[in-house]
Structure 1
Amino acid sequence: MASKTLASIILLLSLFTFSSSHPDNGGIAVYWGQDGREGDLTTTCDSGNYAIVLLAFLHKFGAGRTPEWNFAGHCDNGAMKKCTELESEIKHCQDNGIKVLLSIGGSPDYSNYSLSSAEDAKNVANYLYTNFLSGQFGPLGSVKLDGIDFDIEVTENHWDDLARELDYFRQTTGRYFYLAAAPQCPTNPIYYLGKAIATKLFDYIFVQCYNNPGCSYVSGTNALLNSWDTWVGLVASNNSLFVGLPASTSAGNGFIPAEVMNGEVLPYAKTASNYEGVMLWNRYHDVLNGYSDQILPNVIKSNLLIRLNVG
């Protein structure tokens, strides 16, 4: 009886040790803020489908530009305006255990951002920390967002400097926040974010497995899964990797039907030790298609419940 109990304890401890670098059980990250029809943040977080919400986007900054954001009609957009009506909604999400990050960058068709030097990166990092991460009153009110997401689609210059400067703040202020990167899936080279990801400072890597036929789902899963294997071996072991997908056929090329995602992609992706979940572009398309509802039970790392019988 005692030996059986001891064996159960050893098994439980070994499983805990194996997963200690990624203590949660995975989840879905979603971009919010690019379509006024997607619903408010409170409704988004109360859906129970998401572990991370990415506020998109701070789309103008750097090189002397006055920072601007665009949340698609959810609040006042543009320079020097405020989105303080989002404060209570952000805090509601955080109070319910959902991480809320600010995404910077976005499509160059609608954005105007770059960094001109290492000093410019320091200035932008100071702006981001002061206005969105410190709890001081800023564009979103007195909030402490959970981190910054790099959705960078122009030039690769100095994004590594920005990551280091932000890391300096989280190492010296006593408050840890998350750094995320959302690279496109090609790896030879990694577009725009290669130098930044090489710093190994990012907690989350949202690999955009869409709009790139060579590493997206087109007529089968081979290209996507081969790309996933490359990313698993490429990034730091403490990075949490997400399979990034469009949430509907109209959200981007490379949409994966839910039955394929559940039956082929997720079982394979979850074999990676640094798998963490799925990223969806975006909340509006997810509302239309109900995609997260269809895949959520299979996104988590394990449904296994371990019962320790000490009787």
Structure 2
Amino acid sequence: MLTTFLKAVIAVAVIASPVLAKTSGGLNIYWGQFGDQTDRLASYCDVTGVTSVTLSFVNKSPRYGNGYPGINFAGHCGAHCGDEEFYVYPANGGNTALIMNCDTIKQDIRYCQSKGKRIILSVGGHCKSAPCGYDVLEEDEAEAFAKQLHSIFGPYDPGFDGPRPFDIDENGRVAVDGLDFDIEFKYDNQAPYIRMVDVLRTLNPSYYISVAPQCPTGDGYFQLKELVYGARFDAFFVQFYNNPGCQASDNITSLYETWSTVLSETRYNGEAELFVGVLSDPLAGGSGYVDYAALRYMVCQLRDKRRFGGLSVWDATRGSSNSDIDGNNFNDYAARALEFDCDSVAAPTPTFTSRLTSAAAVTSSVELVTSTMFATILHTTTSCGPEHCETQVFAETMPLYTAVCPGKNGIFFHLPSRASDALGAGEAAQATPAVTPVISDLAVDKQNAPPIQTSTSDAGAKRVDIISVMTVSMMVAGLLL
């Protein structure tokens, strides 16, 4: 099925049989905030070139999780959204926000690690204003939070008798390889998060600890400045998207050098790896998406620079559905970009505005199935033979947002009005004005919808007409976790 892949992928002949070189960086992919039980973590660990998978998210600190960290993996836990089983806090008999029946995830973590993939657990996610669900306001609670993360998700300690949701059984203990900090709010005091990193490193020096800051570093817009300068990280998954003027579709070489300079100025991170964070699909964020030709060109410009660690992709599930006519998806092409032999074949001039072959329009009503908002997407394809052309229209139903499962008692939460409002590393920094209309009735957000575009593929005799996504917003029953 033809979904959304860029014309550059189809049109550039060299892509069909690329010249490959030694891999020039790692590939990290975020997973967990889109999809359901059929979207298995294990499938992404079968992608050649993927070096790490970051699970998103630990979205609640003990302060907001009844004494324990809370996790949210969209529709990946339980039979479906709403079937989650939460750990009961013995001290008060109340539910925590720690989901205990993520059965496929814990099985797949072990599988991924057997394939040599690093599994990182991300703390944070979307937060437009305080209080955030993952607030850590004091250093003593930061220390307690870090110790809980280590005991619950780290290497098994026989002396700990609390919950371990990723363990398969008593003989199948499962531990993550590291922690990621995707803190998306500009806290005035970031010392508690610095303390968390320090404690985690003391508890397990082998932890791989990363951070996912927004791109802007200017005064007033550098969200995580204190954390970046005050804690020691192994990797920076910098979000070069959702910030016009500071994203992969802009002057990425200059932006990379700016971040490289920042790391050189820090006390601990001069040798940390610097990853370029990119969107896997136009639907994965608000702006800054680049096609394969641009991605390959970008890697060729950065591969020999100091600190270059590779690419970090938000989000794996979106990337898997963003595929070309041969079934190759964005995740495959991201790995291929890192293997491209820039010396043997000149990198093409990128066309940063090219989308993947279709960013199709939302043309019919949106419905809520459990906690997932679905849209019916109409694709129009025109196939031309020697004498005539034939146009075919077909529909596809796809989830636009699955980051939150509703509470069984039916409280309120809002679905995003645009892709950049989704939970997680797709959130725009404060440097970019946020668009957050909340309306009671379903309506098309015409003011903020991308302009309608058309593009043509030159592969064979097939043309794909492209219409950009119109954005929608609505209020539905549930709970914003």
Q: Please report the TM-score for the alignment, with normalisation by the length of structure 1.
A: 0.80
Indicate the residue corresponding to 2:99 in structure 1.
Answer: 81
Distance change in 2, residues 1:158/1:228 (3 Å): same
Q: In structure 2, do the counterparts of structure 1 residues 239 and 108 end up closer, same or farther at CA, with 3 Å as the change threshold?
A: same
TM-aligned CA deviation for residue 49 of structure 1: 3.7
**Max Rg structure:** 2
Aligned to 2:238: 207
Q: 1:55-90 deviations in whole A, cap 9, x for unaligned? A: 111111153543321111111456143045122210
Judge conservation of contact 2:143–2:199 (CA < 8 Å) in 1.
no
What's the secondary structure of 1:179's corresponding residue?
Answer: strand
User: 1:171 is matched with which residue?
Assistant: 202
Q: Is the 8 A contact 1:115 1:157 kept in 2?
A: no
Q: 1:204 to 1:301 in 2, by over 3 A?
A: farther
Output the CA distance in 1 between the equivalents of 2:189 and 2:107: 34
Secondary structure at 1:232 match in 2: helix
| Structure 1 position 183 matched with structure 2 position 202 | no
Whole-Å Cα distance in 2 between the matches of residues 215 and 80 of structure 1?
36
Write the letter of the residue equivalent to 1:296: A
Moved more, 84-93 or 61-70: 61-70
Q: Is the 8 A contact 1:270 1:301 kept in 2?
A: no
Aligned positions of 1:1-311 closer than 5 A:
26-37=25-36, 39-63=39-63, 65-66=65-66, 67-76=69-78, 77=84, 79-85=97-103, 86-108=105-127, 112-136=133-157, 138-141=164-167, 142-157=173-188, 159-173=190-204, 175-189=205-219, 191-218=222-249, 221-222=250-251, 224-235=252-263, 236-252=269-285, 253-263=287-297, 265-289=298-322, 290-300=329-339
Alignment gaps of 5+ in structure 1: 1-23, 305-311
Query: 1:139, CA displacement in angstroms?
Result: 2.1
Q: Following the alignment from structure 2 to structure 1, what is the Cα–Cα distance between the partners of residues 110 and 260?
A: 33
Q: Percent identity?
A: 29
CA distance in 2, matches of 1:147, 1:298: 26
Q: Give the gaps of 5 or more residues in structure 2.
A: 1-22, 79-83, 87-96, 158-162, 168-172, 264-268, 323-328, 344-481
Pick closer, same or farther for the CA change 1:135–1:166 going to 2, 3 Å.
farther
SS in 2 for 1:102: strand
Instruction: Say which SS state the counterpart of residue 144 (structure 1) adopts.
Output: coil
> In structure 2, the residue corresponding to 1:285 is in which secondary structure?
helix
The answer to whether the 8 A contact 1:156-1:195 is kept is no
1:206-247: per-residue Cα shift (whole Å, max 9, x none)?
Answer: 0100000021144xx32x322111001111221111000110
Distance 1:31 1:209 in 2: 14
- Name the structure with the higher helix share: 1
Q: CA RMSD in A?
A: 2.5
Q: Distance in 2 between matches of 1:100 and 1:202?
A: 16
Partner of 1:262, secondary structure, is helix
Deviates more, 1:205-214 or 1:48-57: 48-57
Q: Distance in 2 between matches of 1:119 and 1:302?
A: 50
Q: Residues 201 and 179 of structure 1: is their aligned pair in 2 closer, same or farther, counting only changes over 3 Å? A: same
Query: What TM-score do you get using the length of structure 2 for normalisation?
Result: 0.53
Superposition deviation, residue 146 in structure 1: 0.7
C-alpha deviation, 1:52, in angstroms: 0.7
* Higher mean C-alpha deviation, range 155-164 or range 268-277: 155-164
Contact 1:133/1:144 (<8 A) preserved: yes
Bigger mean CA offset, 241-250 vs 162-171: 162-171
Q: Secondary structure at the match of 1:286?
A: helix
Deviation at 1:267, TM superposition (A): 1.3
Count of residue pairs brought into register by the alignment:
276
AA at the equivalent of 1:242? F
